[in-house]
Structure 1
């Protein structure tokens, strides 16, 4: 294993079922495979890295996530091509997922940065970037 490569990322979610539905199709489109599943969580893996979604405990479910607070701002994934970014954008729209920066899409990150930006069910910003 290469030093410094992320081992895993764990994200607490307000509604596990809703998050699994959202993230499952997206991660599998990006090449991840289902990895672990238990009553309060589920994960997907690609190579040696996995992403875990865990149901938030009851006392914390009403505290909303906001990317502008201290902590995670967003997750960005590599796409295989501009065509894959376009395909994902179409799928996101068909599923009524909020696309961010629509006035600048697909160059919201700059003229050399072909990507789609959107939000997951807990409003975590996600980015998929073409090479």
Structure 2
């Protein structure tokens, strides 16, 4: 059994879904594992991770619109230390995930045909998001 880990940084320019499947696939391929499990962890409380449709841009737009309606920017929140998008960003992150587990089979991530790995930025301002990758296997 072997292990490998790294961190990648994703620059964001505001709210939305940013696919980074290619970066993850490239790193996994460099590790030369045959079977295993990849854990991806977002090291933030106002951004999250999703595995989602990567073929139709409308699916991403609909998700973004849904979450902005579900947790809208508003003056109804007590927590607004960093502005009106602060608490809505935490709510959106709480409703999604900050960690993903993806099996590795025959040297490749076992993602479906139309699945991509996304960072879901929930804040208005640009950020540099740190994502930890950990692979365990053979």
TM-score tier by shorter-chain length is under 0.3
Q: Given the two structures, how large is their TM-score scaled by the length of structure 2?
A: 0.25
Structure with larger RCO (C-alpha < 8 A, sep 6+): 2
State the structure with more CA Rg: 2
Q: Given the two structures, how large is their TM-score scaled by the length of structure 1?
A: 0.26
Tell me which protein shows more strand as a share of its residues: 2
